[in-house]
A and B are shown apart, each in its own frame.
Chain A
Amino acid sequence: MSGRVSEVRATHPPEAPLRPTGDSGMAPRKPEKDIPRTVRFRIFRGSRGAGLYSEYEVENEEGMVVLDAVHQIQARSEPDLAVRWNCKAGKCGSCSAEVNGVPKLMCMTRIDTLDPTRPVSVAPIKAFPHVKDLVADVAWNYEVNKRIPPFTPAPMTKAEAARGEFRMAQQDVDRLQEFRKCIECFLCQDVCHVLRDAQKKHEFFGPRFFIRLAGLDMHPKDDLDRVPMTKHAAGVELCNITKCCTEVCPEHIKITDNGIIPMKERVVDRYYDPILVGWRIVSETLTRWFSGRDDEKRGPGEEALERILERAEAGTNGAQAPKPPARPPAAK
């Protein structure tokens, strides 16, 4: 079983249309016992973007997931089939692929949730350079992460310093704990139009790193101003809120509503709200006037950011920079 039945010529990316909506291409769960004995799979085989779909027949079992099928094919007939996976429990985010055109974790996609009338197609995620078979090169994401200055805590209060830990209420960390559920599967990056279609990797960090920035910005003890980076280097304004990232997130993080939109609002408040911008110009001018400093170009946040980035690149960190005064939350 699970032998190769045929090969279908294809180019990369394959012809299957991208359908980010969570339930498209799905059938209602079948009752126990009534499952087909075999399932056909079409798997993209090839190297560096060039390749073809090969068709395999896989022995089916109740509760089987797509990664089981790929393993069965690898173990029985195609030992050099390239697939990246680790935990097979939805916790590490390694086995991202496009199943019937939908970005998914192979280990969490039960075969009985897929359309039984056609072969299951499995292809590598396509927003990133192809390596081999189902493996893509996601190194760009790790480079982006390095550009984000690390957690930069405010000085501890006396009580905190005595214990060596921060005092924070659970309700104040709930929203960042949601972002910290991220398993870095990069499915949100894969489905994001700005990265996938427009290929703006040089000016846009992508949804994964907006929730990283949001998680730092919303950390009650992080003292670094994250707004300038969110606007400039990360390019949050390029996001046009199609919410595709939220739909594919296997951790069910509300990336757009809880992460990207609040960060967009902060950028708007800072750079475009006429009253707040006017007030800031006045207050910064007054500050400069009284302190005798003459630095017209940059706000304190941006200076601090550059310092941190310099130190980060030099391999040290721990720099401290004050956040600008708290702003009222923008009305929705």
Chain B
Amino acid sequence: MTAGAAARDGRGYATRAFDVVVVGAGGAGLRAAIESSARGARTALVCKSLLGKAHTVMAEGGAAAALRNVDARDNPKVHFRDTMRGGKFLNHWRMAWIHAHEAPERIRELERWGAVFDRSKDGWINQRNFGGHAYPRLAHVGDRTGLEIIRTLQDKGVHSGIDVFMEHTVVKLFVRDGRIAGCLAYERETGRFVLFCAPAVVLATGGVGKCYAINSNSWEYTGDGQALAYEAGAELQDMEFVQFHPTGMIWPKSVRGILVTEGVRGEGGILRNATGERFMFRYISELFRKETADTEEEAKRWLEGDRDARRPPELLTRDEVARAIRAEVKAGRGSPRGGVYLDISWRDPDYVKRKLPSMYHQFKELAGVDITGEPMEIGPTMHYHMGGIRVDAETAMTRVPGLFAAGECAAGLHGANRLGGNSLSDLLVFGKRAGEHAAAFAKRNAGAAPDPAEVASALGAAVAPLERDAGENPFALQEELQGLMQDLVGMIRTREELETAIARIEALKRRAANVRAPGNRQYNGGWHAALDLSHLLVCAEAIARSALTREESRGAHTRDDFPHTDKGRWAAVNVVCRRGAKGMEIELAPLPEWAPEAREIIEAPLEKVASLEATP
């Protein structure tokens, strides 16, 4: 077919060549593109939405980095130890090590690029307490830290010589001669296709929140990167670990799932059940008993700054708090709407408004609740995916040469449970590394153009929903998927439910192959939903199959039929999914061996690690 004929029948596409193509413009994507461009690579940034709207804006609490501005006992080794313990030791230790040591410089660099973090009494970057972090560690801006980070990167990025393709959605990655060759995207406004040719592609597409009915994620979170990488031959890892944030809004239904920042608890928010009991004292696990207050009096002293007091149990890791809330509700001690109460109203109203302004407005405007005077009603909400694309710890490259992944769509750093605040620093640290190594890879390897036949076939598949005369409604199918994931692959799982879920996902996959999107290609929501659906289904299947495989309870993965955390086999493996000839294949991959120095720190008591010098 000639180019002219292709254009006439709607099968044409523009072709653009770059050294590095970054997919996704959240924190990780922007940071990768800035780095890649700074290293001389011609860089394209392709993003589903307008610049600066990515899900990173919704991060509230802060970015964890051992700056030691507020508490000098902190250092990167303590941060490393906290991250490993929070992840229930399933983290890739080397990623956790790199993350803890590079995060401080990544945060300070943002300040030099114009970010304005809240200040400490001495005028340095202030840091706040968060669950699982031994010392105040989160650089923050009130409760809108993600917005500050994305705006800083955006304003830096637009002066960095990056070509930005806003509202372009990638539908396919191409591999040629065993290496990445490029990707195909459509432009939202016109429905026209663009083929990006590049020897290096960085995926920074975020998570999979839209798999679940109750979630705190924006619409973009449809697992695009994970599914694209899987289809291109990369592996997915730790997919069973889905983080349910303990505190999401539960009422009105319209706002169900919207995040209530952990910063509320960091600032002294107390969890109570319907009887008024502060129940978290009953849920302190053995792993954290030594470091957690066991009386209200001690918890109060800690909040007042007493360094000898231990942390309140509300600041245990997210998996533990979410499970405790679920248990309280199950035991009949929940609020009338099926949650528990989070109370910050005992603090000075002006302080609450200053430190938690968007929480104040969110409840005031959407629920008619004044959080300075009454408690919030909250419950768990699907928030983050620890699992994702399996990458090399140093370079962020997948097993497909030239294909990189960073941020939430990559796996490894967080293990079985992510600590709050570690995501924003994750995307800065590994976004930068992915950009750096992608640029270096592109310099070493000339690109091969994608096979035109493959491009034509991908384009044909993408426009197929528009051309069908009959077919199911993609929105209805997505809702069905969200419902089944919420009910059967939620916080607490069993073999029977997971097997049912997999069978139903298989059936949905068949039906999704025949969805119909009426209308033309111009900004057509139904068409976009139809294309997102296939990505969601790959991720949903990987989550369910991995959850069925891991026969233990660890971190965010709780099996009712295997309630204990295994010390043997399951403590030493990651569950890995890859595309095989007959569908999804599961493999158990041994964890990388801990370096002796890392092992020593993980196993040492907190006080000993805190006394170590902060040497990178």
Contacts and interface: CB of A to CB of B under 8 A. Distances in A.
Interface of A: 29, 47, 61-65, 68, 74-76, 79-94, 108, 110, 131-133, 135, 137-139, 142, 145-146, 149-151, 153, 163-170, 173, 176-177, 180-184, 216, 219, 222, 252, 312, 314-317
B57 A169 contact: no
Contact of A315 (B144, B159, B259, B525): B159
15 contacts: A74-B525, A75-B473, A80-B519, A80-B525, A80-B526, A86-B219, A87-B58, A92-B53, A131-B522, A132-B522, A165-B112, A170-B126, A173-B119, A177-B118, A184-B52
B156 A150 contact: yes
B520 interface: yes
A89 B58 contact: yes
B43 to A, nearest CB: 10
Contact of A165 (B55, B124, B358, B368): B124
B220 to A, nearest CB: 6
Interface stretch (B250-258, B267-275, B305-313, B561-569): B250-258
B518 interface: yes
A63 B258 CA distance: 14
A165 B57 contact: no
Interface stretch (B327-335, B359-367, B489-497): B359-367
A79 B366 contact: no
Given A79-B473, A166-B112, A183-B57, 17 more contacts: A63-B251, A75-B473, A79-B518, A80-B527, A83-B525, A86-B218, A88-B218, A89-B259, A90-B361, A90-B362, A91-B58, A146-B159, A150-B156, A164-B108, A173-B119, A182-B151, A222-B114
B116 A89 contact: no
Closest 8 CB pairs of A and B: A63-B252, A79-B526, A315-B161, A80-B519, A151-B114, A75-B475, A82-B523, A167-B123
B158 interface: yes
Interface in B56-78: 57-58, 67
A75 B148 CA distance: 33
B604 interface: no
Nearest to B466: A80
Contacts of B361: 90, 252
Contacts of B214: none
Contact of A177 (B58, B122, B141, B476): B141
Interface in B1-54: 37, 49-54
A108 B366 contact: yes
B614 to A, nearest CB: 12
Contacts of B519: 79-80
Contacts of B132: none
A145 B119 contact: no
Interface in B508-567: 517-520, 522-527, 529
B258 A150 contact: no
Contact of A89 (B258, B368, B527): B258
A91 B358 contact: yes
Interface in B441-478: 473-476
A167 B144 CA distance: 21
A131 B523 contact: yes
* Chain A interface main SS type: loop
B114 A150 contact: yes
A111 B54 CA distance: 26
Contacts of B254: 61, 63-65, 68
Given A86-B219, A92-B57, A173-B116, A180 B362 contact: no
A151 B49 contact: no
A177 B114 contact: no
B155 interface: yes
B113 interface: yes
Interface size class of B (residues with CB under 8 A): 35 or more
B158 A146 contact: yes
A259 to B, nearest CB: 15
A288 B148 CA distance: 42
A108 B147 CA distance: 18
B379 interface: no
B402 interface: no
Contact of B155 (A68, A86, A145): A145
A74 B259 contact: no
Interface in B358-383: 358, 361-362, 365-368
Contacts of A108: 365-366
Which of B57, B252, B473, B525 has the most CB atoms of chain A within a 10 A radius of its CB? B525
A184 B125 CA distance: 25
B468 to A, nearest CB: 13
B160 interface: yes
Contacts of A82: 522-525
A209 to B, nearest CB: 12
B57 A91 contact: yes
Nearest to A169: B123
Interface string B217-258: 011100000000000000000000000000000011111001
Contacts of A86: 49, 53-55, 218-220
Interface string B118-156: 110011111000000000000001101011100100011
Given A62-B253, A150-B159, A163-B124, A91 B144 contact: yes
B252 A89 contact: no
B523 A132 contact: yes
A216 B254 CA distance: 37
Given A79-B473, A91-B144, A163-B124, A142 B51 contact: yes
A222 B113 CA distance: 10
A61 B252 CA distance: 9
